[in-house]
Structure 1
Amino acid sequence: MTGMMADLILRGGRVIDPSQGVDAVMDVAFLDGRVLAVGERLEGREIRDVSGRIVTPGLIDLHTHVYWGGTSLSVDADNYASGTAVSTCVDTGSAGPGNFAGFRKHVIEQSHVRILSFLHISFAGIFAFSNRVMVGESMDMRLMAAQDALQVAQANRDVIIGIKVRVGRMTSGPSGITPMDVALLVADQAGLPLMVHIDEPPPTYEEVVAKLRPGDILTHCYRPFPNAPVDGAGKIRAGVRAARERGVLFDIGHGKGAFAWTTARAAMAEGFPPDTISSDVHTLCVNGPAFDQVTTMSKFLCLGMQVPDIIAASTVKPAQAIRRPELGSLKPGSVGDASILSLEDGAFPLVDVLGEVVMSPQRFMGRGLVIGGAWWDEAAAPASAVREVV
């Protein structure tokens, strides 16, 4: 550690950092907001004993909705992060070019947890999403704001990391796949990846992934029938496998309707794990079936995924997907974020979006969070991730 005294030491945890191939009991040191070193018997001004815990790079939830107060579907990012040990919330289209300025000023810049954004191609983002009012923002082509989206994306490159579009029977309806064509034009012009949501057909899963470029992201990748990645025999559809082979990324995006045990078991049996694991947390799933990032990660323990691979899909892989290599790693010089988790033994019911419950003998729990090289006191964060918008 070249004789430097660290600001903070996490001592004696099981450090799992897939970006470096590290899985060992070690210390992690932070200085001036960044990772200083990973090693043994490191010294610092503040020492936190995390023995018996897992220490990972700061978890990245690649699919969240956190424009709280500005959109009906969003939860409060800081409240959410405190319970699930997430250091970066990637908001996926809550805001569009018409209301992004408010998202940035009133939420992103005020938040303790880092918020990055996929900007929605729709002018006002996801503007009508609740138990009482549900309007697919991609149904009206008049809202597909290509010029505005490009302008806003270019002016906010520090926090906008991609373009978002939602297509399917419930979100684009009579517009079909056309909103995705507009979003692809903007993503190409801006040099950014596209994240696309699918729900029920039309369009079909294969029609959507056929249009995606290397580095683009298909979220809700383990949807139930209809529009699952597997056919009736449980085999990965040819167009889906071809998309992965050319570099399309597949993200979980659990949410209210997009993770089915039946699909997940078939896809894993076919050697088709997700590239990234995300919660798609919003007001209609934060109390189930998705709950949060660590609950979503826990479901992959039941599917036979190894702990380091689950951690990778929540750290280094999403960092690569959003082209932020300074995140998702504990390499010296990386952003000083770390998540402290426990791997609990017991009998834990884990439910999918269809109501199927699988009892898991293990699950992850969030136990602490370091952001910018400093321990974040969870006691200072409000208790609930959901605030009612009256």
Structure 2
Amino acid sequence: MVDLILRGGRVLDPAAGLDAVTDVAFEDGKIAAVGPDLAQSAGTEIRDVSGKIVTPGLIDLHTHVYWGGTSLGVDAPTIAKRSGTTTFVDAGSAGAGNFPGFRAHVIERTEPRILAYVNISYAGIFGFSKNVMVGECGDMRLVNPDECMAAAKANKDLVVGIKCRIGAKAGGASGIAPLQLAIEVADMLDLPVMAHIDSRPPSQKDVIEILRPGDVLTHCFRPWPNAPVDANRNVRAEVLAAKERGVYFDIGHGQGGFSFASCRAMVAEGILPDAISSDVHVLCVEGPAHDLLAVMSKFLALGMDLNDVVRCVTENPAKIIRRPELGGLAAGTPGDATVIELRDETVEHTDVVGEKLTGSQRLACVGTVIGGKWWSDGAEPA
């Protein structure tokens, strides 16, 4: 029996090359069919979404949702209801020392899907607030590859890679060493690495040159220091080389990871992000990042095509985490979908250095389907 039909929306599924007004049907927790005038069964729930946009369930590749167990975590269901995110990928909130708690107390109790990168630091991101900021890789005694590998193996159904945060804030005097160890672990497990870089040392060049095809450079459009462009707004050679060899570029907006100026320079060179993500955490959930839809709206204001924006939160991140079944609406795949509305509203967007950008449209969540059921109506940001 068909459980739910989303009727008459504009269905955008970049993985299938689909942009058409049509229906989406769900049965037994999965996508049943996509097509016009789909037949309903007795008891089928019909949702009229005409005038709205239906996409595969949105995937936020960089989030921090270990709420209650880490100081930076936010509540995934609250964010999901306003952003339409059906899959949160937690970017290293937990390390080997606290991953069991993350799994038992948050992941297994949360209806939106949560997958995770395991932090190379045993403690995960433990000291992160307005008043306390202690980088988890600043003490190499915490960077234990054996513990990280064991945690990833024990949770292989949830783990999509290894996360390493380095730079003056996250790694202190440890330099590039934590990332080198993260790559060693990832090599042994055939997993990708997601690399964060903040202020020097090390330089972005040091970081990006050791990333492998399939690894992720997050905060890829960050401001100075360690911006991807030089003082003349030219894309740095090592950035171009990384893109050419297959390193994925993830936005990771957050509190310090996204600059309009860097974005414009990169896009002018034809370099679009592979993934648009929020890096939502306690210090940016009320701005400047807010949530995934807010970051997507910024890219619309910057002139990026809606289909390309949707690709960066569906097909592309699904490929990056090696879960292609999550990135589209093919029959038989998990029954997740997001219903959004493109509203004609004047919106003032802000990047992490305070630059303002006025947009004329905003994406808003109308509702979310998880596991083939209408999970929630949309909610407005606080």
The TM tier, using the shorter chain, reads over 0.9
**Offset of residue 377 of structure 1:** 2.7
Listed one character per residue, the Cα deviations across residues 353-387 of structure 1 (whole Å, up to 9, x for unaligned) are 111111101121111100000001348x9x989xx
- In structure 2, give the amino acid aligned to 1:220: H
CA deviations 1:298-344 (Å, max 9, x no partner) are 11112221100000000010000000011010011111000011111
Q: What amino acid does structure 2 have at the position aligned with 1:31?
A: E
SS at match of 1:239: helix
Q: Distance in 2 between matches of 1:263 and 1:384?
A: 27
Aligned mates of 2:359, 2:166 — CA distance in 1: 33
Q: Is structure 2 residue 25 aligned with structure 1 residue 29?
A: yes
Note the residue ranges of structure 1 that are not aligned, 5 or more in a row: 386-390
Residue identity opposite 1:48 in structure 2:
R
Q: Which residue of 2 aligns with 1:331?
A: 330
Deviation of 1:279 (Å)? 0.1
Counterparts of 2:68 and 2:301, CA distance in 1: 36
- Structure 2: distance between partners of 1:170 and 1:61: 24
Superposed displacement of residue 173, structure 1: 1.3
- Contact 1:79-1:384 within 8 A present in 2 as well: no
Distance in 2, Cα, partners of 1:145 & 1:107: 24
Code of the aligned partner of 2:26: F
Q: Is the 8 A contact 1:57 1:337 kept in 2?
A: yes
For 1:201 and 1:49, the matched residues in 2 are separated by 52
Matching of residue 19 in structure 1 with residue 35 in structure 2: no
Give the aligned partner of residue 78 of structure 1: 77
TM-score, normalised to structure 1, is 0.95
Given residue 255 of structure 1, which amino acid in structure 2 is its aligned partner? G
SS for the counterpart of 1:6 is: coil
Does the 8 A contact of 1:57 with 1:315 survive in 2? yes
Query: Following the alignment from structure 2 to structure 1, what is the Cα–Cα distance between the partners of residues 365 and 167?
Result: 34
What is the CA–CA distance in structure 1 between the aligned matches of 2:282 and 2:35, rounded to whole Å? 41
Q: Report what 2:49 is aligned to.
A: 50
User: In the aligned structure 1, how far is the partner of 2:244 from the partner of 2:90?
Assistant: 27
1:98 and 2:94 matched = no
Q: CA deviation at 1:346?
A: 2.0
The 2-side partners of 1:228 and 1:6 are apart by 50
Alpha-carbon distance between aligned partners in 2 of 1:203 and 1:275, rounded to the nearest angstrom: 24
Task: State how far apart, in whole Å, the 1-side matches of 2:99 and 2:320 are.
Answer: 22
Q: Give the conservation status (yes or no) of the 8 Å contact 2:369–2:376.
A: no
Q: Does residue 245 of the first structure (1) align with residue 244 of the second (2)?
A: yes
Corresponding residue SS for 1:211: coil
SS at match of 1:244: helix
Distance in 2 separating the partners of 1:263 and 1:326: 32
Please name the residue that 2:190 is paired with. Answer: 191
Query: 1:16 is aligned with what amino acid?
Result: L
Question: Is the CA contact 1:97–1:145 (under 8 Å) kept in the aligned structure 2?
Answer: no
Q: Which residue of 1 aligns with 2:278?
A: 279
Residue type matched to 1:42 in 2? L
When the two chains are superposed, the root-mean-square deviation of aligned CA atoms in Å is 1.2
Kept after mapping to 1: 8 A contact 2:82/2:381: no
**Contact 1:297–1:310 (CA<8 Å) still a contact in 2?**
yes
Taking the aligned partners of 2:377 and 2:3, their CA distance within structure 1 comes to 19
AA in 1 matched with 2:216: I
Unaligned runs of 5+ in 2: none
Q: State the SS of the aligned residue for 2:101.
A: helix
Deviation string 1:164-220 (CA, Å, 9 cap, x unpaired) is 000111111111111101111111111111001010111111211100011000000
What is the aligned residue count?
A: 379
Report the 3-state secondary structure (helix = DSSP H, G, I; strand = E; otherwise coil) of the residue aligned with 1:339.
strand
- CA-CA distance at 1:236 after TM superposition: 0.9
Q: TM-score, normalised by structure 2?
A: 0.97
The answer to whether structure 1 residue 119 and structure 2 residue 115 are counterparts is: no
1:8 aligns with 2:4: yes
**What SS is found at the alignment partner of 1:94?**
strand
